[in-house]
Amino acid sequence: MDFDATRLQQTGVWFYPDDLSSDVAVAFAQRIESLGYSALWLPEAGGRDPFVLASHLLGGTQRLIVATGIANVYGRDAMAMKAAQYTLAEQSGNRFVLGIGISHQPLVDMRGHVYGPPVTTMRKYLQAYAQAEFGGPAPSERPPTVLAALGPKMLELARDAADGAHPYMVTPEHTRRARYILGPDRLLCTEQKVVLEPDLEKARGVARRSAAISMGLTLPNYQNSLKRLGFEDADFEGGLSDRLIDAVVAGGDASMLQARVQAHYDAGATHVCVHPLHPGDLREPHWEVLEALAPG
């Protein structure tokens, strides 16, 4: 039996938990669950191992799906990745979604690996994954795999060799294009950054502060993706243009943020995971916006 994708129809949350202690991270996940969010997406960004943390969070929740957004394919071979995925799915009663990606050259270089052509690398990895056997107790549903796909070729691979895509740092127009490539049946789980701040200049300030720390807009993968949508080199220079910031970060009151989330759904997203940027401390969850956008 395949994964029941209807459980992802509610909005989810994307968040860096690396500054939270283990107990606080569990309490965070429990509160996310109580607010009615369907999923919590965890990155792999040089801090905690996302699979170890996912196991801890799944053990502390009852309904919440935990997903990797994303796990770096250079960090573990295909057999190890599949074993972690199937183990977590079976342990949690099918509440785990595997998101994988080829990451970025500076992050792969840091691991001591050679960064290969992205689509070719991912295709070979998925072939090895398909051939890998899992010898433990099987989950009752086949756990899904989504790719960190931005460009057309990676989206085609997500359609043909995976269960869909998990695009990061994108716009509703990207979602529309991605759905066209993926077709009607593949998962499209889109990340959307949000800042609850009615003063748009202040919201942009929060977004720029986040960009300087962790948003990754200096990385060529994201820049190339946004250039395919019509942005230019000048948009990435001099502190990032207002139009670029406004495109990738939804700022405003709760109704404006909800409208951006809905724009992704209208464009074809299966699931939108909101990524809250705290106006004060970017390392802290911003409960005001998470409560305002809560689906339950």
Tell me the CB-side half-sphere exposure of residue 165, using CA atoms within 13 A.
32
In a domain, 253, yes or no: no
In a domain, 40, yes or no: yes
Quick one: average pLDDT of 32-59? 95
In a domain, 209, yes or no: no
Quick one: average pLDDT of 268-284? 93
In a domain, 39, yes or no: yes
Report the domain count for the chain. 1
Which pair of structure tokens corresponds to residue 61?
């929740």
Which pair of structure tokens corresponds to residue 183?
């077709």
Average confidence score pLDDT of the chain: 94
The per-residue pLDDT for range 98-107, each reduced to its tens digit, is 999 997 777 7
Please give the Cα distance from 26 to 40 (Å, whole number). 11
pLDDT at 198: 96
- Which structural domain, as residue segments, surrounds residue 174? 5-193+260-276
Please give the Cα distance from 82 to 74 (Å, whole number). 14
pLDDT over threshold 70, residue 212? no
In a domain, 42, yes or no: yes
8 within 8 A of 39, measured Cβ to Cβ: yes
pLDDT over threshold 90, residue 232? yes
Which pair of structure tokens corresponds to residue 212?
């300087």
pLDDT at 217: 87
pLDDT at 290: 98
Quick one: average pLDDT of 64-93? 97
For residue 121, the domain's CATH number is 3.20.20.30
The per-residue pLDDT for range 146-184, each reduced to its tens digit, is 999 999 999 999 999 999 999 999 999 999 999 999 999
The per-residue pLDDT for range 109-120, each reduced to its tens digit, is 777 788 889 999
